[in-house]
Chains A and B, each alone.
Chain A
Amino acid sequence: MSTILELRNLGKTYQSAGKTLSVLQGINFSISAGSTNAIVGPSGSGKTTLLGICAGLDRPTTGEVILKDRSLNHLSEDQLAQVRNQYVGFVFQNFQLMASLTALENVMVPLELRGDRSAKTRSMELLDRVGLRDRYHHYPVQLSGGEQQRVAMARAFSNQPSILFADEPTGNLDAETSDWIVQLLFGLNRELGTTLILVTHNLELAAQTQRIIKVKGGVII
């Protein structure tokens, strides 16, 4: 399988309250296209930071991130935005839907950004797929947590991403809803061949992936 994501000697430090915090050090790994992966670790281990850098949401202090054979280090913010729109999908712990947009509109945004004229049709199909046929025109505040997360997933897959990052996708959901979401996640992964990278505390969820990357104290163990 080809490599879709590679991290080379990656490190990240922050300045906080006048002190330098080293959050990640010497991270090296690569991810195969179409694989499912989990990043696990205790709270404060740097896994969310790692996820952010992998997704092009943040820049490493040292080292290099290569996504789809393209180094992210020297891209401008606009170029990174384009990369995200083309290749990356996100599912967040807090759903992160745009409160002013309906469920349908939330899903349409990535497609509209690409200028996709069939954005509406495609989005409706995706919402149907996640079981929200009757909720196209509802606002996030009118949806339950599980429904919001389904909308978020429909949005994440709308641009047919090459790689999907999920940060604690079931963190705010009950067990039954979580199972449903997980099945949907892995199902879409199988169907569309999207590489999946999960950040999770849930070892059972992590065990369902093909590879577990353990992070502790900012290093991979």
Chain B
Amino acid sequence: MKGRWLFLMAWRDSRRNRSRLFLFMASIVCGIAALVAIYSFGYDLKRSVDEQAATLVGADLSVNSGRPVNKTERAFLDSLGMDRSREERFGSMVLFPRTGGTRLVQIRALSGAFPYYGRLETTPASADQSFRKGGRTALVDNALMLQFNARPGDSIKVGEVTFLIAGALNQAPGQTGISSSVAPIVYIPLSYMAETGLSQKGSRIEYAYYYKFPAGTDVEKQVKGIEPRLEKDDLRYETVEMRKENTGRFFGDLTNFLSLVGFIALLLGCIGVASAIHIYIKEKTATIAIMRCLGVTARKAFMIYLIEVVAIGLVGAIIGSALGSGVQVLLPMVLKDFLPFAISTRISGRAVAQGLCLGGVISVVFGLLPLLSIRKIPPLFALRSSYEQQARTGDPLKWLVYALMLLFIGGFAYLQLGRWMPTIFFTLGVIGAFLILAGVARGLMAFVRIIIRPSWSYLLRQGFTNLYRPNNQTVILMVAIGLSTALISILFFTQGILVKQLGLAGSNNQANMILFDIQSSQEKSVDSLTLKEGLPILERVPVITVRINSINGKTAEEAEQDTIAPRATAGAEAPPHSADASPRSADAQSRRPAGADMTPPRAQRRAFNEELRVTYRSVLSTSEKITAGKWTGQAGSAGEPVPVSLEDGYARHIGVHVGDRISFNVQGTDIPAVVGSLRKVEWGRMQTNFRILFPAGVLEDAPQFHVLLTHTPNTEAAVRYQQAVVRRFPNVSIIDLGLILAILDQLLEKINEVIHFMAAFSVVTGFIVLIASVRNSKYQRIQESVLLRTLGAVRRQVFAISALEYLFLGVLAALTGLLLALAGSWLLARYLFKLPFTVDWVSATGLFLVVSLLTMLIGLLNSRGILNKPTLEILRTEV
């Protein structure tokens, strides 16, 4: 009976307050919706990865090598699996003879029935079959076909060979919309590879072997058995299970990130809920005092309102979960360009349950603080509403509630991030942001109090002073609106910084076209062609392919067996991908378990097996700075070790220091060297940078290719130049930075769309909190406006006071948010992107005006009912 009565009283009490309670709910609906949508999407992704991982790999096992395999290795590879395919993959220019269009693409020279799972989707559908029949045919990425207005039946020239386009390639295993833009694929038969003339010494070709095993084979077990052999030959491999794990991990990280963004929306809503419940309880003080008079204990009174709050939270969570389940169908559309497979969406019971649980928990955690005050409401309040409560000692339970809030935020973050340090940073960051916002809000309000002058008009002064009237919600509103403004502003500002950097990258004096794979015999001719086109030669760099024989006298095997080698510095990372490294170091990273650090023996083994691209010069470039040792621009006399300079990150990665000896294999010739210096390299600069730099006087006669950087003034010049180069030098590859920048711009736009989509939940929540707060203070405003009108104020004056109050609120909130956004953008520019901090003041001003005016508009819309009716009618309805 007792428990039932509590629920009964909660129900009764809520009946006349449904619209207010609905607004409480609405504060958390968006946040719950965001999280349920993301959780559901995450489960859809996982299911899709599990179902389609095989089609992502296209085979049971793929083995990759960055170098041609020898006979023994080939024999071993040919012994695996039941069915085999081979592929050679590399970047090269292609030419469309009909239109003259050229582009750097990814060539895949294929033999065999690959893919064994999924298929090459083509238009027309029969093009895949035509291609496999043999003959000089090619499948060309649909994006490329569209770009150059090519059709099936047209020609495409790859190296020295012209192929007939059998059809457009719509989908290949593991391909995404983004990857298609960045590196469109052209399939040619492997049998024509040699004829193209593109397979030369030093070419960066990736050799892939695909295997299908008999049905029922335990591929993982098979691979486990051959793993030592594969690792010994430095052959990278991937099974379907490994792809599931890697892809799952990547998308897991993505959904975790999106969850954290959604969580911000939820926290905003929690602030709104806490504030709304605070006001609600304040207005229920008389009712609670009466209940206490009638014999309701403090605990029962607390329970009645706790039940109300939890019920509201659950209803809000139900609505949020339903909305989230609907919104989840949008996420695949928003992210479609980043997904390598189609996603089927299903309502996830688990995600809905998580949303409901979250709604219940947050309504308790964030409702508890105002609810605790119920215990202190004395029954005497019913007798004397002007009762001045005796000064109370602090409520120790309040600190327990704060601790619960902290635990909740930290716990949620840990569930997404899985590691303590990022969790701590995120939690502190969130709390810090809220505290900073609240602090800035209070500071601005204090400032406003100072600047008000008695000489100002009454309307202006009343509008200002309403901001800090008793029971005002100014700080809460400023935090809610300010945080929404800050989130959106940071996105705008950061995008501006990145886009500006891209713009600078494409500016007049910077190189916007890079030619590489220029052979020594072609160097003069390419220079001459470039100058003939009226283009400057901004940089010409020789590139030599080398390998490491030994480090400090130890070979690869000796280094591997060396168990007493000192560990690498904690957190040492592989250096950024540079012009000199073979592509596979990036792939190798994906095979390592997440978070694992490489120890020197293993890192050094990679160093031995890696093909390195180095250069030689007598001077340092403007992007280099010596951090240890001494730079020597000219080699010493023959017989002395060559003093090389290593990029400091790379040196840390392979565990070498100044003074260590390295023996290099330069195309069959051993060159002893010593680490003479370490360099810090600005990898973000638009120029060639190298991990290893030789001095002049050593490698001039070594087999090498060249890189040339130039600047084309416009698209026509760029197209003309590329056509000329590709026709005369089909082996030379060209990177059109203008195109890359355009693609990066598109990529940034797409990323922004995703983040904007998530941030929208926060923005909507921010405005719901505003509407809820305006509604909550409606009674107070009614009283004030009735009093003013009774004293003789006309409607215009009452309207003006409200308008000014909300305008000031909007202005202060927008200012608070923008200040925070500027600070956040500066931090991101300086420490994350390492770019100059710039502000688009036009966007900032626009945001400021939009937020301020929108706040005023919403406030006035909610107050309009008070102004249009007779005073007494309002009192009768509302009191």
Pick from B11-19, B40-48, B688-696 the stretch touching chain A: B11-19
Q: Which A residues are in CB contact (< 8 Å) with B299?
A: 78
The answer to whether A14 has its CB under 8 Å from any CB of chain B is: yes
Are B378 and A57 within 8 A (Cβ)?
yes
Are A86 and B388 within 8 A (Cβ)?
no
Are A57 and B379 within 8 A (Cβ)?
yes
Q: Which A residues are in CB contact (< 8 Å) with B289?
A: 96
Closest to B295 in A: A85
The answer to whether B93 has its CB under 8 Å from any CB of chain A is: no
The answer to whether A146 has its CB under 8 Å from any CB of chain B is: no
Q: Which A residues are in CB contact (< 8 Å) with B8?
A: 112
Are B382 and A92 within 8 A (Cβ)?
yes
Contact A81 B296, CB 8 Å, known A105-B12, A112-B5: yes
Contact A78 B298, CB 8 Å, known A84-B293, A98-B291, A109-B291: yes
Are A57 and B380 within 8 A (Cβ)?
yes
Closest to B286 in A: A96
C-alpha gap A15/B389 in the complex (Å):
9
The answer to whether A219 has its CB under 8 Å from any CB of chain B is: no
The answer to whether B384 has its CB under 8 Å from any CB of chain A is: yes
The answer to whether A99 has its CB under 8 Å from any CB of chain B is: yes
Residue of B15, B290, B298, B388 touching A14 (CB-CB under 8 A):
B388
The answer to whether A143 has its CB under 8 Å from any CB of chain B is: no
Are A57 and B383 within 8 A (Cβ)?
yes
Closest to B383 in A: A52
The answer to whether B613 has its CB under 8 Å from any CB of chain A is: no
Closest to B876 in A: A141
Mark out the residues of chain B between 240 and 291 whose CB falls within 8 Å of any chain A CB in the assembled complex: 286-287, 289-291
Contact with B along A94-126 (1 / 0, CB 8 A): 101111110001000110110100000000000
Residue of A86, A98, A115 touching B287 (CB-CB under 8 A):
A98
Are A113 and B13 within 8 A (Cβ)?
no
C-alpha gap A168/B205 in the complex (Å):
98
Are A100 and B297 within 8 A (Cβ)?
no
Q: Which B residues are in CB contact (< 8 Å) with A112?
A: 5, 8
* Min C-beta distance of A197 to chain B, whole Å: 13
Q: Which A residues are in CB contact (< 8 Å) with B379?
A: 57, 81, 84
* Min C-beta distance of A154 to chain B, whole Å: 13
* Min C-beta distance of A72 to chain B, whole Å: 13
Q: Which B residues are in CB contact (< 8 Å) with A136?
A: none
The answer to whether A179 has its CB under 8 Å from any CB of chain B is: no
Contact A86 B295, CB 8 Å, known A100-B13, A100-B15: yes
C-alpha gap A113/B6 in the complex (Å):
10
The answer to whether B147 has its CB under 8 Å from any CB of chain A is: no
Mark out the residues of chain B between 1 and 36 whose CB falls within 8 Å of any chain A CB in the assembled complex: 1-2, 5, 8-9, 12-17
Contact A110 B295, CB 8 Å, known A57-B382, A90-B382, A100-B13: yes
Are B380 and A58 within 8 A (Cβ)?
yes
Contact A81 B292, CB 8 Å, known A57-B380, A92-B382, A100-B14: yes
Residue of B1, B12, B17 touching A115 (CB-CB under 8 A):
B1
Q: Which residues of B contact A (CB under 8 A)?
A: 1-2, 5, 8-9, 12-17, 286-287, 289-299, 378-380, 382-385, 388, 390-391, 879
Pick the 10 closest A-B CB pairs, nearest first.
Answer: A85-B295, A57-B380, A78-B297, A100-B13, A100-B16, A57-B379, A81-B297, A84-B295, A58-B380, A96-B290
Listed by A's residue number, 15 A-B pairs whose Cβ atoms lie within 8 Å are: A48-B383, A77-B297, A78-B299, A81-B292, A82-B295, A85-B295, A90-B294, A90-B382, A96-B293, A98-B13, A100-B14, A100-B15, A100-B287, A113-B295, A141-B879
Q: Which residues of A contact B (CB under 8 A)?
A: 14-16, 48-49, 51-52, 55, 57-58, 77-78, 81-82, 84-86, 90, 92, 94, 96-101, 105, 109-110, 112-113, 115, 139, 141, 155, 159, 167
8 extra A-B contacts, CB within 8 A, seeds A57-B379, A100-B12: A14-B388, A48-B384, A57-B380, A81-B295, A85-B294, A96-B293, A109-B294, A159-B295
